[in-house]
Amino acid sequence: MKKDGDPLLSIITVNYNGRHYLAGLFDSIMELDYPLEKIQIIMVDNNSKDGSIDFIKENYPKVDIVRLDKNYGYAGGNNAGFKAAKGKYVALVNNDCRVEKNWISEMLNIFQQASEDSKIGAVGSKVLFYYPYLPLEFISGSCNKRFYKKPSNFRRLGVRVSDVRVITGNSYVNKSIKYLEGFYPQESGKEGRAFNWTNGDGYLALPIENLEEDMEVELKLFSYLDVNKLKLVIGDEMLGEMEAGKQQKKIRLKIPKRYYKHKKDIINSCGTKVNKSFYSRDRGFLSFDEGQYGRIEEVFGLSGSSFMVSKDMLEDIGYFDKEFFTYYEDIDLFWRARLQGWKNFFTPNSVVRHYHCGTGAEWSYSFTYYVLRNRMLMIFKCGWPLLFLKSYLAFAISMLLNSFYYLMYLLMGRKLKRVDIPIRIKLFFKFFYYFSKYLPKRIRIRSEAKIKDKEIKYWMKSFK
């Protein structure tokens, strides 16, 4: 609803070969409950080759396009958007998101309702995974105990689930399937095929692409037991029973759409938190949205996929560190902001849906490189000396141990799929160059800090 005095807002999205996502994002922006004449929409294109720019010019003439000569990543792309932004507040949103109608107005409300001396620098949304999900519970009749890596480390293994496909109509999805409570992290066998074991019972979350059509699910089951009887449950309803055994079995389940009444949303992020080693994690990540993050509250940082920032804060602390390219550039920004006394808030009333890694493969070479490198550079720039020394020592020890285990398995004839090993070794030596290069930034950030480190330490909590 239009109000007198509505401030001009800018929205920035950075795009790199993401044309297939753009219609969803910009269609949803055009439906916002904030007056469009008071919104400047900016797409920063990192030299896409998929026709993204022509597509936007033809279909969304209101969008201002900032065309870059190469891929500058999330950090450099948004920095170019900041320079073009005319609004008092700037909202950032990933190109693989869809925003809800009150997405921008609810974030703006936090700024407008705050007192002038509150120093609110940024406000973030509740970020949900794109699809609604159907929770399929595997209840094992029995479990087998087997050791993992060494005999003293036993695990309860129910069934092994692999090659899951969700089929709706003439299409299928598998990238968006989530292994939740009761599943061990993904592993891969000698042949490189990925699988997940249940710790007895486990929840497999199935994306519902079309609420109007029934769903079919294909998967493969295996158990170390001769016969492991399973119950499949959705909500409080029994879907069926089956058996898994030592002979891998391919099954196909038919799930009528009447079961969709049990659908739930899964949280991508409700703000970010940091632990005592300054690893970051999204609050609520991979948990069902049960209203547990239902209040407006201060958080350490916000998901880079959706937040609104005050131009005043950017003018005070600067933009993203462009050399970070992608990953940890948001935590670095919010840490620098906090050192200058700015605060960040989360509001559950602003909601976006996010494909997550829609334009970047999680734990690919580049993902792993930037995550490992940027976290250490961030700590060097912003952290107190003891935190940096402990972090770098931990990195060095981890590099040595992981390299040792990799070589041991190689000598035993088993080549592990560990993209991080050469990255760790490479970074161990490159850090000597990076630390000398970043020393002036560290001196400036630390010398200009307006708050004590104890206020940063308050936010460092152990992850559960």
SS (H, E, C) 226-240: CCEEEEEEECCEEEE
Higher pLDDT, 202 or 190: 202
Q: Is the confidence at residue 423, as pLDDT, over 50?
A: yes
pLDDT digits (tens, 9 = 90+) for 230-275: 999 999 999 999 999 999 999 999 999 999 999 999 999 999 999 9
Q: Is the confidence at residue 360, as pLDDT, over 90?
A: no
DSSP annotation string for 177-233: -EE-TTBPPPEE-TT--EEEEBBSBEEEEEE-S-TTS-EEEEEEEE-SSS-EEEEEE
Residue type present at position 269: S
Q: Is the confidence at residue 415, as pLDDT, over 90?
A: no
Q: Is the confidence at residue 78, as pLDDT, over 70?
A: yes
Q: What percent of the chain has pLDDT over 70?
A: 92
**Within a 10 A sphere around the Cβ of 57, how many other Cβ atoms?**
11
Domain 9-128+270-354 of CATH type 3.90.550.10: yes
Q: Which two tokens stand for residue 436?
A: 């000398």
Write down the pLDDT at residue 358. 44
Q: Band of the pLDDT at 142, cuts 50, 70, 90?
A: confident
Q: Band of the pLDDT at 173, cuts 50, 70, 90?
A: low
Write down the pLDDT at residue 195. 92
Write down the pLDDT at residue 172. 65
CB-based contact 39:11 (threshold 8 Å): yes
Q: Band of the pLDDT at 366, cuts 50, 70, 90?
A: confident
Q: What percent of the chain has pLDDT over 90?
A: 76
